[in-house]
Amino acid sequence: MTKAFASQADLADKKITFSKLADNAYAYTAEGDPNTGIVIGDDAVMVIDTQATPIMAQDVIRRIREVTDKPIKYVVLSHYHAVRVLGASAYGAQYVIASEATREMIVERGQQDYDSEVQRFPRLFRSVETVPGLTWPNLTFSDRMTLWLGQTEVQIIHAGKGHTKGDTIVWLPKERVLFSGDLVEYGATPYAGDAHLQEWPATLQKLRDLKPVALVPGRGDALTTPEAVEEGIAGTQAFVTALYEEVAKRAKSGQSLKQAYDGAMAAMSPRYGNWVIFEHCMPFDVSRAYDEAKGIDHPRIWTAERDIEMWKALEAK
C-alpha cells in the first residue's frame, strides 16, 4: 500500500476542549476527533455519545465532575458506530437510549463494525481491552421521545436517514442547543461509508428548521452562534451533495469504482482536502456513493477484511 490504511498513521493526541453552551449544556470536543455532548438536568446528567473505550470515557467523566456531582443516568447513542458507543460502560448509566433503527444496525453489524473500526483508528481505541463487548441500548424509540430532567426538556429525535439509517439528534428546545452526532461535521470530513446520501440533505434541513443557536457536531469545534451553526450545516450539505453527484454521474456512465474514486478525489480535493480525515474517509465515502447510485439502498456491511480489500483496490497507483 502506498498510503497508510485509514487512520493508522494518525497517532498524535488532540487537545480536548470542554465548553459551556448553556447553563445546562456542555461540549467535549477534540480538534476533529469524535465529540461527546453533556446535558445537566435538575437531578441527573445525560451523555450524548460515549467515546471509543471506557478508559477514554473516564476523561469525559473527569470533566463532568468539575461542573457537577449529579449522577450520570442517561447515555444517548447518536448512531451505532463503535468509535462513539463502546465507551458506554464507564458511565454506569441506568438508561442507554437509541433509535429502533440504530438497535437494528447493532444487531445486524455491530460486531463487524467493532472489528473494522478498531483497525481503522488505533489511536481512538486506546485500551480497547477495557471494552466489555457491544453496547446495547435498553430504551429504544421509533421517531422521537421527550425526557424531562426535572425542568429541563430534552427531545431525542430520529430526524431521518443520513450518516446512517438510525441517526438521532438531541435537542434542548428552551436553550435551542442541538447535538447532531455525525449528521453534521465542522472542519472534518463527513464519513459516508454507511450513509444514505440522497436523503442526508433533507434530514439536514430538519435540523436547520429547529433554528439552533448552538450545535455540537460529530467532529469539530462546537458552533456557538446561529451563523456558525448554518456554516456547519451548509458545509456538510455541500460535501455530501458534491460527493453523491461526482460519484453517481460516473457510476451511471459505466465507469468503474476506481475510476469514480479517482475522478471524485480530483474534483473534491481542492475544496475539502484540508478537512480532518479526508484521505481516510474518501475511499469509504466513494464506495458507498457508488453502491447507492447503482441502486443498493441498504449499505453493505464493512468488515475488517472488506476494508483492506477496498483500500488496496482504490489506492493502487
Give contact residues for Zn ion (rule: CB under 5 A): 81, 182
For the CB of residue 77, give the shortest distance to Zn ion in the complex, in Å.
10
Task: Give residue 255's identity as a one-letter amino acid code.
Answer: Q
Extract the C-alpha cell encoding 265.
478525489
For the CB of residue 80, give the shortest distance to Zn ion in the complex, in Å.
8
For the CB of residue 165, give the shortest distance to Zn ion in the complex, in Å.
12
Label residue 39 exposed, middle or buried (CB < 10 Å: 0-12, 13-18, 19+).
Answer: buried
For the CB of residue 99, give the shortest distance to Zn ion in the complex, in Å.
14
For the CB of residue 206, give the shortest distance to Zn ion in the complex, in Å.
18
Of the two residues 183 and 251, which places its CB atom closer to Zn ion in the complex?
183
For the CB of residue 5, give the shortest distance to Zn ion in the complex, in Å.
18
Task: State how far the Cα of 91 lies from the Cα of 88, in Å rounded to an integer.
Answer: 6
For the CB of residue 167, give the shortest distance to Zn ion in the complex, in Å.
9
Of the two residues 167 and 246, which places its CB atom closer to Zn ion in the complex?
167
Of the two residues 182 and 291, which places its CB atom closer to Zn ion in the complex?
182
Of the two residues 215 and 251, which places its CB atom closer to Zn ion in the complex?
215
| Residue whose C-beta lies closest to Zn ion | 81
Of the two residues 81 and 288, which places its CB atom closer to Zn ion in the complex?
81
Of the two residues 33 and 182, which places its CB atom closer to Zn ion in the complex?
182
Extract the C-alpha cell encoding 33.
476527533
Of the two residues 175 and 185, which places its CB atom closer to Zn ion in the complex?
185
